[in-house]
Chain A
Amino acid sequence: MQLMDWTRRGLFSAASAGLLALGLGLPATAQTPPGVLVVGQIAEPKALDPAAVTAVNDFRILMNVFDGLVRYKSGTLEVEPALATGWEISEDGTEYTFALRDGVTFHDGSAFNADVVKFNFDRMLNEDHPFHDTGPFPLSFFFSAVENVEVVDPLTVRFTLNAPYAPFLSNLAYPTGLIVSQAAVEQHGADFGRNPSGTGPFHFVEWRSNEAVVVERNPDHWDGAPALDAVVFRPITDANTRTAEMLAGGIDLMVEVPPVALSQFQSDAYTVSEQAGPHVWFLILNAKEGPFAEKAVRQAANYAVNKEALVNDVLEGTAEVAAGPTPPAFAWAYNESLEPYPYDPEKARALLAEAGMENPAVTFFVTEGGSGMLDPIAMGTAIQADLQAVGFDVTIETYEWNTFLGEVNPGLEGKADMAEMAWMTNDPDTLPFLALRTEAWPDKGGFNSGYYSNPKVDELLETARTATDQDERARLYKEMQEIVQEDAPWVFVANWKQNAVTSDKVENFQLEPSFFLLLKDVVKN
């Protein structure tokens, strides 16, 4: 499949270059009416019920139809008020009291109040709730710390947590925390996902299966009415076809442009936007056994890999070099002083010599492709070459994505010395907490497949999770990043930049570091 994709892609670009060179291009003609934005999506959505979906593709629609209690401030991953106008956190960090916005109504006309908020979270978390069967709710564990939701008065709601849990607010800003209309859930039951009703800037109009989801402007939105009249989300799964639709004017906005197709849009008729997101692409190193049990060898691997070449040549500039375990998109928690390991083969050789292993043999698990994995085969091959150049003897084993996860997640022991991996998260807590702590080793149900263990890092992460003060959390995360970079349990490779292309009729479009697609202020001429 991968080979065929590559071939098709290659043929496609070669042929399109040829045809364009022949001068067959005609001037663009508008196919989509003004005020209506047609978005090329990568797949058909599963459902338009925010509690029931997990894919970024579905989030792109949902974030425009629903609001949460809080949201990310534009251009950042910092939380600001939305349907809640403010909140108070108790001294011990287990009680969050939200003041709700007055006078907000759902698209179906029902009122937004504390009862509706309680209904939303009870539906997701309480297995005995009459509407729990409108799930399943795969990401409900985002709120597993919530013990109780209490209506204080119609415009005040209090969440009680079973333990202090700092990522709670940013989880509320995630699509799983978007607030749905209780009246609509009661009316449609399990079909709510096809008849959604929220409070967002656009209201749902129709869903034509495998063709389009249409939403129209909500003139009464509490944050001001949107500039567009309507947005049409079209699922176009094949990246080449999506590119062709963009070139032919059948869509106005295209997300996830394949790197090889970017050159097609280098003209005044298009704008390419880029935004680095909370994504990190890394190599898990097996710190329990084999050559990477030695810190010096792990550092040698970090020096040996030419990350600049990977992001510029293999990924054609669609990613940035990663310095540590936390992506810079988490600006408030990111340690600015961290510099990526430089590309220094000499230093790598010296470190290997120092460790007494000039030619360590390592097995490298590579996947054919998967969520957030970018171009894993090409990247794996380039990394293999870089490591061979300093003396490593690298054997690649390639697996299909699901098989790959089945091999890597239970731990690398006895199987491999390194493996590719990528994560996209919404809080700086998530990835290190699930993949770097001693308590997160695979046998304890975590994702620390390389068995990294440093008591200081464990302590920092546990403390950061219970701290409610953002500055204090930031200090702890920054310290953690320094230690982890030095210990090198991973080879830190890249942070993916999401991209999108808009036609020259689209104005005010901006990508968010959260990777959500917010269309409220977009204008289409």
Chain B
Amino acid sequence: MGSYILKRLFSAIPVLLGITIIVFAIMALIPGDPATAILGSYATPENVEKLNRDLGLDKPAVARYFIWLGNMLTGDFGQSFALNRPVIDEVLERFNATLVLAGTAFVLCCFLGILAGVISASRQYGFADKAITFVVLLGISIPSFFLGMMMILLFAVNLRWLPVSGMYAIYGGGDLWDLLKHLVMPAAALAVVATGVIARLSRSAMLEVLRQDFIRTARAKGVSERRVIWGHALRAAMVSIIPVLGIQAGFVLSGAVYIEIVFQWPGVGRMLVDAILKRDILLVQGGVVFVAACYVLFNIMVDVAQSLLDPRIKT
């Protein structure tokens, strides 16, 4: 097992290197440079040239790439032009907020999705199955940013139960209760689509398993229906559900971009959108590499978890 994990970790290196090249190339090729974005109306060629020199952007692209890569290997992600602070500070702070949001949403959608899927499967074509399927399809079909705005209008503007946006109250907040109040709407809006997908796939995975012989055997020897479903069948179905969870974790992370903008959550997705608009090259590059590294790491974890669950997947 240890060597399997090591092998997977090594295979991540070329992936990450490829990501650094792609994100650097994209930022170098998109029109517009930070100096023009900063100077706005006053971007005369002379001013742009001077500011580029001050920002260290006058060197050739290849040289800039290797300087950036070299610095990054020593843990120095550079300084953000637009925020005037070290990229790594900003990314870590923002990623922390994203983890809180996406993590909550992910736990929510795993729990609700698997629950809904199992109930659906165990009452195939029954009322519960039909009702759940209907709600799930509705959830999959609503764009999450639209749902988020509707929730803001209803719960924050009209009912005033919850705050509109942000992560903590400006005054008198900062505790866990305050965080939960700010978290509930964005996490719910973010979880809806993934919950639907997980529910649909859990349902079919369960149906597959429930048709198999060992389930019939379990029932025949008098195991309670509850244990058959939640013990025997779900455990076997998890082998095909877990990869889906891994993929959904990625979707939740990327879906967080919209939700973070709608709810002004101070996360890494909103940071990247702002940084791209401002051509804040180092912040975009550093942020993308960091998120990509986390994503790769997450996939490795899913693979490992799967190999633990399913003895057929061998190193």
Closest residue to A250 on the B side, CB-wise? B164
Q: Is A244's CB under 8 angstroms from B38's CB?
A: no
Q: Is A237's CB under 8 angstroms from B47's CB?
A: no
Query: When each residue 431-456 of chain A gets 1 if its CB lies under 8 Å from chain B and 0 otherwise, what string results?
Result: 00010000000000111000000000
4 more contacts with CB within 8 A, not counting A402-B32, A447-B44, are A46-B82, A46-B83, A212-B170, A445-B45
Q: Is A238's CB under 8 angstroms from B262's CB?
A: yes
Task: Report how far A423 CA is from B39 CA in the complex, Å.
Answer: 12
Q: Is B153's CB under 8 angstroms from A211's CB?
A: no
Closest residue to B47 on the A side, CB-wise? A141
Q: Is A29's CB under 8 angstroms from B160's CB?
A: yes
Interface residues of A in 113-159 (CB under 8 A from B): 135-136, 138-139, 141
Q: Is B171's CB under 8 angstroms from A36's CB?
A: yes
| Residues of the A chain whose Cβ atoms lie less than 8 Å from the Cβ of B45 | 445
Closest residue to A409 on the B side, CB-wise? B43
| Residues of the A chain whose Cβ atoms lie less than 8 Å from the Cβ of B85 | 194, 209
Task: Report how far A165 CA is from B16 CA in the complex, Å.
Answer: 54
Closest residue to A29 on the B side, CB-wise? B160
Contact of A24 with B by CB under 8 A: yes
Contact of A236 with B by CB under 8 A: yes
Q: Is A405's CB under 8 angstroms from B166's CB?
A: no
Our pick among A15, A38, A248, A434 for the contact of B149 (Cβ within 8 Å) is A15
Q: Is A211's CB under 8 angstroms from B31's CB?
A: no
Contacts known (A11-B149, A19-B153, A211-B170); A402 close to B36, Cβ less than 8 A: yes
Contacts known (A24-B158, A247-B157, A250-B164); A241 close to B152, Cβ less than 8 A: yes
Our pick among B42, B163, B266, B270 for the contact of A250 (Cβ within 8 Å) is B163
Contact of A403 with B by CB under 8 A: yes
Contact of A331 with B by CB under 8 A: no
Query: When each residue 377-403 of chain A gets 1 if its CB lies under 8 Å from chain B and 0 otherwise, what string results?
Result: 000000000000000000000001111
How many B residues touch A, CB cutoff 8 Å? 56
| Residues of the A chain whose Cβ atoms lie less than 8 Å from the Cβ of B271 | 210
| Residues of the B chain whose Cβ atoms lie less than 8 Å from the Cβ of A47 | 83-84
Q: Is B168's CB under 8 angstroms from A244's CB?
A: no
Our pick among B33, B54, B163, B264 for the contact of A236 (Cβ within 8 Å) is B264
Contacts known (A19-B154, A209-B93, A405-B32); A11 close to B51, Cβ less than 8 A: no
Contacts known (A237-B270, A250-B165); A423 close to B170, Cβ less than 8 A: no
Closest residue to B265 on the A side, CB-wise? A210
Interface residues of B in 5-41 (CB under 8 A from A): 30-33, 35-41
Query: When each residue 119-155 of chain B gets 1 if its CB lies under 8 Å from chain A and 0 otherwise, what string results?
Result: 0000000000000000000000000011001101110
| Residues of the B chain whose Cβ atoms lie less than 8 Å from the Cβ of A194 | 84-85
Q: Is A403's CB under 8 angstroms from B31's CB?
A: yes
Q: Is A371's CB under 8 angstroms from B270's CB?
A: no
Q: Is B264's CB under 8 angstroms from A237's CB?
A: yes
Contact of A234 with B by CB under 8 A: yes
Q: Is B158's CB under 8 angstroms from A406's CB?
A: no
Contacts known (A54-B40, A371-B41); A237 close to B170, Cβ less than 8 A: no
Interface residues of A in 27-74 (CB under 8 A from B): 29, 32-33, 36, 38, 43-44, 46-47, 52, 54-55
| Residues of the A chain whose Cβ atoms lie less than 8 Å from the Cβ of B156 | 244, 248
Contacts known (A15-B150, A193-B84, A211-B266); A54 close to B157, Cβ less than 8 A: no
Task: Report how far A139 CA is from B271 CA in the complex, Å.
Answer: 25
Contacts known (A44-B83, A238-B261, A241-B165); A138 close to B47, Cβ less than 8 A: yes
Query: When each residue 226-264 of chain A gets 1 if its CB lies under 8 Å from chain B and 0 otherwise, what string results?
Result: 000000101111101100110111100000000000000
Contact of A8 with B by CB under 8 A: yes
Task: Report how far A90 CA is from B74 CA in the complex, Å.
Answer: 56
- Pairs of residues from A and B, 8 with the lowest C-beta to C-beta distance, nearest first: A402-B32, A210-B266, A136-B54, A403-B31, A24-B158, A47-B84, A247-B157, A245-B164
Contact of B263 with A by CB under 8 A: yes
